[in-house]
Amino acid sequence: MSTRIFVPCDTTALSLGADKVAEAIQLEAEKRGIAVEVIRNGSRGLLWLEPLVEVETDLGRIGYAAVEADHISALFDADFVSGSQHHQSCIGLVEDMPYLKKQQRLTFARAGITDPVSLTDYEAHDGYRGLKNALELEPQKIVDEVKASGLRGRGGAAFPTGIKWQTVLDTPSEQKYIVCNADEGDSGTFADRLVMECDPFMLIEGMTIAGLAVHATQGFIYLRSEYPVAHKLLNEAIDKAYQAGYLGDNILGSGKQFDLEVRLGAGAYICGEETSLLDSLEGKRGLVRAKPPLPAIIGLFGKPTVVNNVLSLAAIPFIMDKGGQAYADYGMGRSRGTLPLQLAGNVKQGGLVELAFGITLRELMQDFGGGTLTERPLKAVQVGGPLGAYMPASQWDTPVDYEEFSAVGAVLGHGGVVMFDDTVDMGEQARFSMEFCKVESCGKCTPCRIGSTRGVEVIDRIRAGNNAEKNWTLLEDLCETMIDGSLCAMGGMTPFPVQSVMKYFPDELSAPGESA
Amino acid sequence: MSSGTEWTTQSIQQIIDKLKHKPGAMLPILHAIQDEVGYIPDKAVSQIAESLLQTRAEVHGVISFYHHFRTTPPGRHNIEICRAEACQAMGCRALEQHAKNTLGIDYHQTTADCSFSLEAVYCLGNCATAPSIRIDDDIHGRVSLDKFDALIAQHQKEMKEAG
């Protein structure tokens, strides 16, 4: 019997040479006459170990970390095919890694274990059990189950998913839509990408259930064009789901219909904002719409539309399989369930950490992240993407919870944690926040369009020591105008990182020798 | 990526006709043309407008809104450097400067020999192994200055061999 060897196929593994590793293993095995079957699995999310090659043994799967094509011959010499643990890259049983063991993986239970585009693997690991339950239920019962789970939108706004679905269910219309927001543009976030690359059937199943729950027969996944690997894998999985009768006009013989299509964005951060996303899907410039009307009532092509983030929809199969209460049993306060957090930037052990709400930021960065990669002191952390505040050391004991973060003026958002060491220039970071908004603003409202341009200029003047005190006051005023006067979160939150620098790192925004 | 810049009015029309029935067909059509031709030729704008019953201004408005769409031919390889925060934390500002110096071009420009185009990108989702760049459809992580040079050299060698 041939030994099964797993080489991940997600973007991060590929970006570090996984294809060459897989090829080298195949060639070397042939050369030595050893029977192996190379399987391209998803990533476990232990991204600093990629490419993480796993060999299946009687004990379990033995891991070999950061493997390069050049190492393959030596790995064969060390008999890694038998799971021998002598090679220096061996990390032992992957399941025993504390980084994995300490997590509470509900959404990412299958990630890295299965071949992402194998429907057989998906079904063998609890896949499509939620859909089968949902097919037996009245739409209202499905919505009730999602309400009972306490799930809140994982895209960042944390709006209760069940309430959104109820609104769409209650709005009569011949045509309704399910739109998955897969425009994961926040720097430091990659959980959506990992769902789509490591377990795409879970997202497809979640969207199908959403369709059944609100009487929607068409779904769109709005995927950012920066994710070519996810695009390929999603399309492959959708084809297989159609072939197996999980999508189409007669889902599993139930007579119910749900069709699904991936649509590519085109490199516009603003299209992660749900109304801008809808305009883009309609084939227009991605301009933000004023709300109300809510997309749940007047959404895509003017029809009632559920717009949910990848992670929200990916949580649905678990909820419909194990029950809303099983999901709600995790978490704290009003933040129920688990949140897939992402450790990024200057971090030793970057990757995906799915945990119930409640861990502190410090524990996350130290116990999981292992500190900075450069081994220099950690200075600031930006949580929640480019619109999130930079958090200083005094705030690192904040528990991961929507309300707790909000209470200290920070944003949990989509759960991205970007760590910076003490070489970072916080003045430069503040400037970038405005610069990014200038590049990415849709231009519809003035505070965002003009405010961001003026923001860059004012920050430049402050940093040059040009009338610094007056310009500092002007910047404070500009930030408030943008927060209060912008149409959406882009202009409304761009000042958050700027204000956090003004408050916690004021010296770095001033010119050398001056203080504000 | 396709750098084949040969196209005809007919070939563009074929692409449009295959997709124009879709709801919200504009972006799928623009993607398909750019994938095929490498950019959106000026002449295609009026064809798209006519086929979708929109004005040329509307089509132009969409093309110019999205960073991904280009209206000039790209180099044989398109290099995108991530400028977002996670990459900044790992030294992408130095990498950007190095790339510009090495290639002798700024963002949105193409080298004189048409080998490389340089673009900025805001996040490739490879943030745990930053800094990251994308060359055509391949994403590369932990891109040190040396690794960048090696990637460029490798592509130059391949182009030379391909002629």
The minimum CA-CA distance between B6 and chain A, rounded to whole Å, is 23
The minimum CA-CA distance between A191 and chain B, rounded to whole Å, is 9
Q: Which of B52, B86, B129 sits opposite A188 (nearest CB)?
A: B86
Cβ–Cβ below 8 Å for A14 and B69: no
Residues of A in contact with B31 (CB under 8 A): 225, 264, 266
Three-class SS state of A152: strand
Cβ–Cβ below 8 Å for A386 and B52: no
What's the pLDDT score for residue A305? 98
The minimum CA-CA distance between B142 and chain A, rounded to whole Å, is 8
Query: How does pLDDT run across A157-187, given as a tens digit for each residue?
Result: 899 999 999 999 999 999 999 999 999 999 9
What's the pLDDT score for residue B2? 46
**Inter-residue contact A47 to A62 (CB < 8 Å):** no
Cα separation, A261 vs A281, whole angstroms: 11
Strand ranges (DSSP E) for A289-337? 305-309, 331-332, 335-336
Q: Which of B30, B122, B126 sits opposite A436 (nearest CB)?
A: B122
B78 has which bridge partners? Answer: B117
B133 has which bridge partners? Answer: B81, B140
Query: How does pLDDT run across B72-81, given as a tens digit for each residue?
Result: 999 999 999 9
Residue in A with minimal Cα distance to B25? A283
Counting one residue from A and one from B, how many pairs have CB atoms under 8 Å apart? Answer: 154
Cβ–Cβ below 8 Å for B26 and A283: yes
Residues of B in contact with A286 (CB under 8 A): 65-66
Q: Give chain B's contact residues with A (Cβ, < 8 Å).
A: 23-28, 30-31, 52, 61-62, 65-69, 84-90, 121-130, 132, 134, 137-142
Best of B27, B92, B97 to substitute, by most chain A Cβ atoms within 10 angstroms, is: B27
Cβ–Cβ below 8 Å for B129 and A47: yes
The minimum CA-CA distance between A514 and chain B, rounded to whole Å, is 25
Tokens found for residue A433: 């926040």
**Inter-residue contact A271 to A285 (CB < 8 Å):** no
Q: Which of A16, A228, A286 sits opposite B141 (nearest CB)?
A: A16
Best of A418, A421, A435, A449 to substitute, by most chain B Cβ atoms within 10 angstroms, is: A418
pLDDT tens series, chain A, 516 aa: 799 999 999 999 999 999 999 999 999 999 999 999 999 999 999 999 999 999 999 999 999 999 999 999 999 999 999 999 999 999 999 999 999 999 999 999 999 999 999 999 999 999 999 999 999 999 999 999 999 999 999 998 899 999 999 999 999 999 999 999 999 999 999 999 999 999 999 999 999 999 999 999 999 999 999 999 999 999 999 999 999 999 999 999 999 999 999 999 999 999 999 999 999 999 999 999 999 999 999 999 999 999 999 999 999 999 999 999 999 999 989 999 999 999 999 999 999 999 999 999 999 999 999 999 999 999 999 999 999 999 999 999 999 999 999 999 999 999 999 999 999 999 999 999 999 999 999 999 999 999 999 999 999 999 999 999 999 999 999 999 999 999 999 999 999 999 999 999 999 998 765 544
What's the pLDDT score for residue A516? 45
What's the pLDDT score for residue B1? 45
Mean pLDDT of B22-39: 97
Residue in B with minimal Cα distance to A270? B66
Tokens found for residue B49: 């407008």
Q: Which of B30, B31, B128 sits opposite A351 (nearest CB)?
A: B128
Contacts of A244 (CB under 8 A, 6+ apart): A119
The minimum CA-CA distance between B41 and chain A, rounded to whole Å, is 17
> What ipTM goes with this model?
0.96
A48 has which bridge partners? Answer: none
Residues of B in contact with A432 (CB under 8 A): 85, 88
**Inter-residue contact A314 to A389 (CB < 8 Å):** no
User: Angle, nearest 10°, between helix axes A191-198 and A200-214?
Assistant: 100
CA A168 to chain centre: 25
Question: In the predicted model, is pLDDT for residue B151 greater than 80?
Answer: yes
Taking the model in full, what pTM does it have? Answer: 0.97
